[in-house]
Amino acid sequence: MSISKTQHDLWEYLALERRPIALYGTGDGADKIIAVLKSYGLADLIAAVFASDGFVRDRMFHGYKVMSYADCCRTLADDFIVLVCFGSSRPEVLEQVGKIASMRELYVPDVPVYGNILFNREYYETNKESIGNVCARLEDDASKSYFRNYIDYKLSGSLSYLAACESSPDGEAALLSGIRNGCYVDLGAYYGDTVKRYREIIPGLTSCVAIEPERHSFAKLEAYAKDLSDEGFDIRCINALVGSRTGTELVSSSRGRGTRAMSNSNVDIKNTREIDVVTVDSLGISDVSFIKFDVEGSESEAIEGARETILRSRPVMKIACYHRSEDVFAIPEKVLGIRDDYKVFMRHTRCIPGWDTDFYFV
């Protein structure tokens, strides 16, 4: 089954056009996009780097003086392509990106958050059968439409395809409305924002196990959990990674994304600390009704570590599928290989690049 309508992936298109490129952003995303451009022999097309007005300052990035968008336009005139090199769901940032896109050619490249597999035309063609099988298995027309547009976005970097994937966050409540009374397991609980959300929209949750590896976020999670406990809600917080087997692992000592270190990440990590690794099956919960997986590219391992729980309890599951290029087909294959009686949905909430994209197994 052919899913994509895209004739050339973004990198092929840039090679055919050979027009100057301006990079918008100076973080890890820009590092990755520069690396991809170099691998395609396109680094010589990079003509400028610009940042939002509040982030320009007097600095250099990869040998380029960081300038404002206005200065970039004055320097390069009109004929250049903008590549957005950061992620955000903030409305004011998305508005600024949309404003630039209305004036000139702009793309938001899909580069993996973790791993080194690029979702390009060759990768799509190699895995086209699996991708087609997943699309065919999706339960509703909305999911099939989102999935097709998401694949075309990943290949093209086009904002129009990404916009066509967007669904309302409120629509999630309908997908989760049938969750029975039981325990909610939050894998990647951050500071408790998703615990709060799902307690509000799923009244049948009777208890929660919240797992978060990043220590600063975990401290906020514990403080929030204490308030919930004082209100009588049964919640247990665990500072650990989630994997396919128990043990220990090195993680980043710094804040933010990239907590997971070493072999599980393509992020350069200098300062590390040791932390426990748990599995869902090792938590000893007899009745799990809902699991949320958002575990920094370790979703596949976390699913494997929840195998017995999935077989026994058949929980509803929300699983992030944007961290690794293979997640868009490998995650449904993994879950359905354990139990084939799930209904599968896909949803994406507004964000650039294609983050905040999840499969729901109901």
Q: Report pTM.
A: 0.93
Which of 143, 163, 183 corresponds to the end of one domain? 163
Which of 163, 187, 218 corresponds to the end of one domain? 163
**Domain presence at residue 5:** no
Q: How far, in Å, CA of 43 to CA of 199, rounded?
A: 48
Predicted confidence (pLDDT) per residue in 61-107, tens digit: 999 999 999 999 999 987 899 999 999 999 999 999 999 999 999 99
Predicted confidence (pLDDT) per residue in 212-232, tens digit: 999 999 999 999 999 999 988
Same domain for 81 and 203? no
8 Å CB contact between 316 and 289: yes
Same domain for 153 and 212? no
**Domain presence at residue 3:** no
Which of 163, 198, 216 corresponds to the end of one domain? 163
Using alpha carbons, select from 76, 26, 78 the residue that is nearest to residue 56. 26
Question: Could you give the C-alpha distances from 1 to 134, 135, 325, 328, in angstroms and in order?
Answer: 10, 9, 19, 16
**Domain presence at residue 346:** yes
Same domain for 221 and 82? no
Same domain for 158 and 189? no
Q: What is the mean pLDDT of residues 18-45?
A: 96
**Domain presence at residue 1:** no
Same domain for 143 and 262? no
Domain that holds residue 131: 10-163
Rounded (5°) CA angle 175-176-180: 140
Same domain for 20 and 113? yes
| Cβ partners under 8 Å of residue 331, min gap 6 | 299, 300, 303, 319, 321, 359
SS3 274: strand
Give how many domains the chain has, as a whole number. 2
**Domain presence at residue 238:** yes
Q: What is the mean pLDDT of residues 331-360?
A: 97
Same domain for 318 and 182? yes
Q: What is the mean pLDDT of residues 122-131?
A: 96
pLDDT given at position 257? 47
Q: How far, in Å, CA of 108 to CA of 246, rounded?
A: 37
Q: How far, in Å, CA of 190 to CA of 61, rounded?
A: 30
Same domain for 355 and 240? yes
Same domain for 27 and 86? yes
Structure tokens at 38: 């170099």
Using alpha carbons, select from 196, 195, 243, 189 the residue that is nearest to residue 218. 189
Mean pLDDT of the chain: 92
pLDDT given at position 266? 52
Same domain for 239 and 311? yes
pLDDT given at position 126? 96
8 Å CB contact between 282 and 291: no
Same domain for 194 and 254? yes
Residue 152 is inside which H or E element, if any? Answer: helix 141-156
Using alpha carbons, select from 59, 63, 18, 22 the residue that is nearest to residue 41. 18
pLDDT surpassing 70 at residue 296? yes
Predicted confidence (pLDDT) per residue in 250-292, tens digit: 887 765 544 554 445 555 556 788 999 999 999 999 899 999 9
**Domain presence at residue 136:** yes
